[in-house]
Structure 1
Amino acid sequence: MRNFLREWQSEVRRTLTGSPDVPPEWSLTFAQGDDPGYYLPGSAVWSVHGGLPTLIAGIRSLLMQSLHPGVLAGVHDHSNFREDPVGRLVMTTRWIHAVTYGSKADALAACRRVQRLHESVRGKYIDGQGEVRDYSANDPELLRWVHVTFTDSFLCAHKVWGGPIPGGPDAYVREWAQAGRLMGVDAPPLSEADLRPQLDAWFASGQLRADERVAETVAFIRNPPLHPFLMPGYRVLFAAAVLSLEPRYRAMLGLRTARLGPLPLPVTIAARVTLAVVRLALDRTGPSEHAARERLRRLGVA
């Protein structure tokens, strides 16, 4: 039993950080740097990104982002997500943590690294109205969709499964807008109320599309090649992500909330229990946050 628990803990850590037993090297670099960074302890961003509901938010944001055919074309045509989904997750985690916990230099370097990778991500896609369009991963409107769906998903998941947000939901949207600007998003939303009209406009415009490629992506997200130890918990978190989606997006994605016959399953509670179990495999303070606090103490900020 002890060996099972040890192996399970290692798999959780490897999946989330790329390193099963020690903090990933990239997280330790956040102790360096000569400025406090864009966010501090007590900020809305630290509160949201330091919580385990981000696991549900990440699944939800991937589902949402797949509905834009330009974004999805870039992933399908240029990404190795099928062969190395954990590696892709770690790359995304590294970017989020660099912007959240790193110095401004760390955040800028992480964003520039992603933008350089995006330079070669170009091609054509068919939009929701059947028109052939060119796409570029650095296109501001595609980046806006990614930013808005990310922000909406992380906020939504935290409101259901997380604790209070310092300054409230508007503070998180306003603070995380800086990440959007660093990535090239012009005038990102600054409040929760600003998110809604932008999502509604995309839906009403017909730009979003549900087709065979979306169905393939949803099937992969539903059943990724994770270690068998992790799959029971992942299925609960996937069901939670589906539950948190608006019905109109669930319909486009071909998803339904979890039910046993006519009765809805207690997904919200099950997800809360699953997150508590995952917490057992992780330190209370993650390595990125710990390194950031070291930097802040050295600078006399915290």
Structure 2
Amino acid sequence: MPALTEPLRARLQYTFNGQYTGTPEWVTDLEKGDDEGFFLPGSAVWAVHGAMSTIPAGVRALLVQALHPGALAGVHDHSRFREDPLGRLAGTIRWIYTVSYGSREAATHASNWVSRLHTKVVGTYDDRNGVTHDYAANDPELLSWVHMAFADSFLAAYLEWGHEPIPGGPDAYIREWATAGELMGVPNPPRSVAEMQSQLMDFDRRGVLERTARTDDVVKFIKRPPLFPALKVGYPVLFNGAVGTLQPRFRELLGLRAPHVGPIGIPTRAPAQAMLAGVGGVLGKRPVAEEHALARLDRIGWTAA
């Protein structure tokens, strides 16, 4: 059986970390460092970020981010997402896992590195009324939107497909991951689900969010990304699952509908669950990053309370 699944495993691994075989150096580097890190085993962050639900969560986060014209302009003008979408994905995963599982020093260094890259992501965009706005990736409001798009999506996906209760509940995850927001320069990131949902919807109430031809173009790209042929069969199941977890207002703004046949909705949760179980069977149910983080914790003598 391993021999039969190895080609699929290689393609999945390359999709997520840019390497067909072996463990990327940045993952093994999670063993380095002399502190416990910002998050520990048993934390809400380890529970949510260690689950297979992170796969549709990433798709969902990209869709939510696309609703903000400033975030969309930054990706369109400064990212090679069309030429190298997997490279961009791997870079995002590297940051998330380093902050989640690395030492405080590694997490801070990784966040500062991303912030330095963001200093070049500046420009202008025209809103739906033809008014020109400046944008900058390190603008506090834009940082806040991107942070909440990730937190909201990872939480929603885990609540849909996670197998165990979140330690401390959903609010604990939002409160813990606020640390990542602070590392990236987000001012006063939300620390509860209610606070996050209020801040997210406030962007809509203020008329910031919009759907343009550029939005439709990016959504079309996310819906049909240039994946390996072996992965294209299952991806629509995960995409539909991600769409199904979106707030109705966000689906409306994106021009998306949950799968349906005429007026009858098609279930998305169970098919996505089965697909994620299959991916977990090939890659392993928990990320390799956890093993290296545990090795660091063991080396420095950490023990669970």
Which band: TM-score by shorter chain? over 0.9
Alpha-carbon shift at residue 253 of structure 1 (Å): 0.8
Question: Counterparts of 2:268 and 2:197 in 1: how far apart (Å)?
Answer: 25
Alpha-carbon shift at residue 300 of structure 1 (Å): 0.9
Alpha-carbon shift at residue 149 of structure 1 (Å): 1.3
Could you say what secondary structure the match of 2:123 adopts?
strand
Alpha-carbon shift at residue 54 of structure 1 (Å): 0.7
1:263-302 pair list within 5 angstroms? 263-302=264-303
- Sequence identity, in percent? 50
Q: Name the amino acid aligned to 2:192.
A: S
Could you say what secondary structure the match of 1:124 adopts?
strand
Question: Counterparts of 2:285 and 2:246 in 1: how far apart (Å)?
Answer: 29
2:111 maps to 111
1:40 maps to 40
Question: Counterparts of 1:39 and 1:67 in 2: how far apart (Å)?
Answer: 30
1:80-119 pair list within 5 angstroms? 80-119=80-119
Alpha-carbon shift at residue 256 of structure 1 (Å): 0.9
Alpha-carbon shift at residue 244 of structure 1 (Å): 0.6
**TM-score normalised by the chain length of structure 2:** 0.96
Question: Counterparts of 2:176 and 2:89 in 1: how far apart (Å)?
Answer: 23
1:166-181 pair list within 5 angstroms? 166-181=167-182
2:77 maps to 77
Matched residue pairs, number? 302
Moved more, 245-254 or 133-142: 245-254
1:89-168 pair list within 5 angstroms? 89-127=89-127, 129-162=129-162, 163-168=164-169
Gaps of 5+ in 2: none
1:9 maps to 9
Gaps of 5+ in 1: none
Could you say what secondary structure the match of 2:292 adopts?
helix
Question: Counterparts of 1:49 and 1:279 in 2: how far apart (Å)?
Answer: 14
Contact 2:118 2:137 in 1 (8 A): yes
Question: Counterparts of 2:59 and 2:74 in 1: how far apart (Å)?
Answer: 18
Q: Name the amino acid aligned to 1:25.
A: E
2:232 maps to 231
Question: Counterparts of 2:240 and 2:286 in 1: how far apart (Å)?
Answer: 27
1:219 maps to 220
Contact 2:48 2:166 in 1 (8 A): yes
Q: Name the amino acid aligned to 1:215.
A: D
Question: Counterparts of 1:195 and 1:126 in 2: how far apart (Å)?
Answer: 27
1:39-78 pair list within 5 angstroms? 39-78=39-78
Structure 1 runs (4+) greater than 6 angstroms displaced:
none
Deviations 1:196-246 (A, max 9, x none): 210121111001110000000000000000001111211101001111111
Contact 2:258 2:265 in 1 (8 A): yes
Q: Name the amino acid aligned to 1:156.
A: A
Q: Name the amino acid aligned to 2:292.
A: A
2:260 maps to 259
Deviations 1:40-78 (A, max 9, x none): 000000000000111111111100000100011000000
Change (3 A) 1:26 1:181: same
Question: Counterparts of 1:79 and 1:225 in 2: how far apart (Å)?
Answer: 16
1:176-215 pair list within 5 angstroms? 176-215=177-216
Question: Counterparts of 1:241 and 1:289 in 2: how far apart (Å)?
Answer: 25
Contact 1:70 1:127 in 2 (8 A): no
Deviations 1:133-187 (A, max 9, x none): 1111111100000011111111111111102100000100000000000000011
2:24 maps to 24
Question: Counterparts of 1:71 and 1:171 in 2: how far apart (Å)?
Answer: 27
RMSD (Å), alpha carbons: 1.3
